[in-house]
Structure 1
């Protein structure tokens, strides 16, 4: 895809039947490939029933395309976490640590670049845990990303985050009183990155807001069409 760095991760093995991967744990980039716009690291949602093959962007490819088209000099990749793992708690924990490693190693390679981290559904949980640390009952603990990275991580975008809680300055969407399945107990740990965070959660998303209405969780699948352009506009303001 035009403008996208195509990284070839040595040691990545895709086991098609189970969607379990063994990714490289760092992202070291040659200086001539450092983003002059933003570098977007995107964490997709959990694999659906019957899904096969390695697809680290899935429906999030639409947001990636807008970022690359509308913010010149940008690069992106899909985080190769275990989105097909049967144990979602392991996937969130390991994915959060992997995301932290990708952010810190990328910025070590490209200290002048700006980074945006994006997550949807299961990917949203690991993204918020990577930035804020874990404070939800039931999720395996991860320490917060060091606040020294707050000036380089200019966007933290999540759709349908199961750690959602209401009345936060970074909340976007129509959910005002609902809670995620694993509500975040210490939102204060997000404060160093607060100006960069946008957490999109709408009424009708049974995973981030509430079990009602009973409409097959329709809102959880509508964020891309509804909010992608607003996300790109927000990232532009952060630059």
Structure 2
């Protein structure tokens, strides 16, 4: 009997998981729902230990609100990737694939769409992998987003990206000589989208600017308050 109960529980969990991903998979919308401003897709950071519930925006809610309030006609959503997964490499792969699907399906519905993708921490890793493809050791390979979407994706924002590589034209922040824990080995693959990318990394963030965490990694948790308005201003310029 106990074995049957466990089997039943597994089946129910599998079906529920499948339904969840089927319901959130893709971004097909009717023409009247296409954003006239920007469509922002936001990937939050990894869930903290002990965090419960479904919260696809978390600390990125403030940036979402700024975009919606300051750019009329905009829409947004939090990417429902596996931010609570124990294996970060699987989460990045899952999220990057999902983000690419959201971009391509939204453009199929709204060919003139202007899309902004934003990622923080683990979400930044998947965002950059989705746009540039994978070139960091240890990550599951993802092919770069087709360059034909460069006219639609007008903003690519990364906060505290562990795949951060120094000396790139799109780098923003105070980290000049550090690098991410899993640095991008082929940053040139980002070039089709280079003018749209701003990767924020500050000294003291041991995840994107190692090996010098001068402030106990506090910098990794300060991007929203420090840069959210600058991000919105950048998006306005790109529009």
Q: TM-score, normalising length from structure 1? A: 0.91
Instruction: Pick the structure with greater CA Rg.
Output: 2
CA deviation after TM superposition for structure 1 residue 13, in Å: 5.0
CA offset digits 1:131-171 (Å, max 9, x no partner): 00000011010000000000000000000000001110000
CA deviation after TM superposition for structure 1 residue 210, in Å: 1.1
CA RMSD of aligned residues (A): 1.5
Mapping of residues 105-144 of structure 1, within 5 Å: 105-144=105-144
Partner of 2:161: 161
Which residues of structure 2 form unaligned runs of 5+? 1-13
Q: Do the aligned residues in 2 keep the contact of 1:12 with 1:22 (CA within 8 Å)?
A: no
CA offset digits 1:184-212 (Å, max 9, x no partner): 00011000000000000000001000142
Alpha-carbon distance in structure 2 between the residues aligned to 1:39 and 1:212: 36
CA deviation after TM superposition for structure 1 residue 213, in Å: 3.0
Partner of 2:234: 234
Alpha-carbon distance in structure 1 between the residues aligned to 2:154 and 2:127: 14
Partner of 1:172: 172
Alpha-carbon distance in structure 1 between the residues aligned to 2:15 and 2:60: 21
Which residues of structure 1 form unaligned runs of 5+? 1-10, 15-20
Q: Do the aligned residues in 1 keep the contact of 2:178 with 2:212 (CA within 8 Å)?
A: no
- Give the 3-state SS of the residue equivalent to 1:142 in structure 2: coil
User: Structure 1 residues 13 and 149 mapped into 2: Cα distance closer, same or farther (>3 Å)?
Assistant: same
Partner of 1:209: 209
Which 4+ residue blocks in structure 1 deviate beyond 4 angstroms?
11-14
- Give the 3-state SS of the residue equivalent to 2:21 in structure 1: coil
CA deviation after TM superposition for structure 1 residue 176, in Å: 0.2
Partner of 1:198: 198
Q: Do the aligned residues in 1 keep the contact of 2:170 with 2:198 (CA within 8 Å)?
A: yes
Alpha-carbon distance in structure 2 between the residues aligned to 1:131 and 1:109: 20
User: Structure 1 residues 12 and 73 mapped into 2: Cα distance closer, same or farther (>3 Å)?
Assistant: farther
Q: TM-score, normalising length from structure 2? A: 0.91
Partner of 1:83: 83
Aligned residues between the structures: 223
CA deviation after TM superposition for structure 1 residue 216, in Å: 2.6
